[in-house]
Chains A and B, each alone.
Chain A
Amino acid sequence: MKLKVIGALFFFPAILIYSCGEQDINFKRYYTTGNVVYTNKCQNCHGSDGQGLSALIPSLTDTVFLHKNKSLLPCFIKYGLKGKILIIGKKAYDGDMPPVDLSPIEIAEVLTYVGNSFGNNMGLISQEEVQKDLEKCRY
């Protein structure tokens, strides 16, 4: 009995540490690859610090906007934006965003990167989540 309790006492935290570690590693993997995707596909327009360009290209630092539109973000990336007015960081943007041809995993990675850089703190945005959101895109 004593042995079982002691065993459980050791075993339980071990599981916790293990699962936490896995999530952490997953996050890091997403974030690091997302950084590369961002540099190659997003940075020219949105800037190395997500600062955008005046009122032409929105910044990626509006945490409230990102949270509010979280499920639409994969659609914005995959299908681009045309003739839509968005208020981001208190400025109105009506320009077009070209579609970016990325796989769901790449979209998840780049969103995890953006969502946890430039002052944002959204945690992991998984491939499964992105896939679900993509099915609901209205295009």
Chain B
Amino acid sequence: MKKLIGALAILILASACKFNTQNDNALPIYGNRTPVPKTVDGKTVTDTIYQTIPDFKTVNQYGDSITSKNLDGKIYVADFFFTSCPSICPVMHRNMLNVYEAYKNDKNVTIISYTIDPKHDSVNVLKHYADKLGITGNTWWLLQGKKEEIFKLSESYLVRKPEEDAKQLFIHDGYFILVDKQKRIRGTYDGTVPDQVNHLIADIKTLKAEPDQQ
């Protein structure tokens, strides 16, 4: 009898494990969601509208105008930085280089880094930075926009809103945000921690396999 209970317990545990792994193949969707009731064929069904990244207007390191339209149909990773940043940015971009290396030949994946110091980080400065960093082509854009707009935009990415600081110039956090083709946030990773960035590289692959990301 005891054996039977034991076997049963193992079976239940094992099935519990199995149950949990079923959702592993889809990444979560972050942010606020709004249920919208609508009528389909006379029946009321609830549709969910997920939080998405709003439109923005910027210029990249080549001087090309880049808006959210340029990211239509792309999976992308976003972060916030500035070129003269003495603290966490070098760590972030050392790690982001790994993401770049992993997906630089993949036209579906883009990296964007918004500068939070547009006054200093002109197109020329961004181009110089990109050259020195060793990035070419259109896989990784460094974007300059209006400061207030970028600060406001950062809230939609669920990162800490940058603050100006006398000593460090700007205070910001080092998160990398994974955004899907529907402009929904699918993951946030501490860009200063190599393990988390490896996780991001793996998650991009997972995301790409989802039916509505093809």
Contacts and interface: CB of A to CB of B under 8 A. Distances in A.
Interface of B: 84, 86-88, 90-91, 93-94, 97, 129, 131-134
B134 A44 contact: no
Given A53-B93, A53-B94, A45 B86 contact: yes
B133 A54 contact: yes
Contacts of A54: 97, 132-134
A44 to B, nearest CB: 5
Main secondary structure of the interface of A (DSSP, over half): loop
Interface string A77-111: 00000000000000000011010000000000000
B134 A98 contact: no
A98 B132 CA distance: 18
Contact of A44 (B91, B129, B131, B133): B91
28 contacts: A44-B86, A44-B87, A44-B88, A44-B90, A44-B91, A45-B86, A45-B90, A47-B94, A53-B90, A53-B93, A53-B94, A53-B133, A54-B97, A54-B132, A54-B133, A54-B134, A55-B131, A55-B132, A55-B133, A55-B134, A56-B90, A56-B129, A56-B132, A56-B133, A57-B90, A95-B132, A96-B84, A98-B86
Contacts of A57: 90
Contacts of B90: 44-45, 53, 56-57
Contacts of A96: 84
Nearest to B94: A53
Contacts of B97: 54
Contacts of B86: 44-45, 98
Contacts, number: 28
Nearest to A98: B86
A85 B86 CA distance: 19
Interface string A47-62: 1000001111100000
Contacts of A53: 90, 93-94, 133
Q: Which of B131, B132, B133 has the most CB of A within 10 A?
A: B132
A55 B135 CA distance: 11
Interface string A25-51: 000000000000000000011010000
B171 to A, nearest CB: 15
Contacts of B94: 47, 53
Contacts of A98: 86
A45 to B, nearest CB: 5
Given A47-B94, A53-B93, A56-B132, 9 more contacts: A44-B91, A45-B90, A53-B94, A53-B133, A54-B132, A54-B133, A55-B131, A56-B90, A57-B90
Nearest to A96: B84
A82 B93 CA distance: 22
A43 to B, nearest CB: 8
Contacts of B129: 56
B59 to A, nearest CB: 21
A133 B90 CA distance: 29
Nearest to B93: A53
Contacts of A95: 132
Contacts of B87: 44
Contacts of B134: 54-55
Nearest to B90: A45
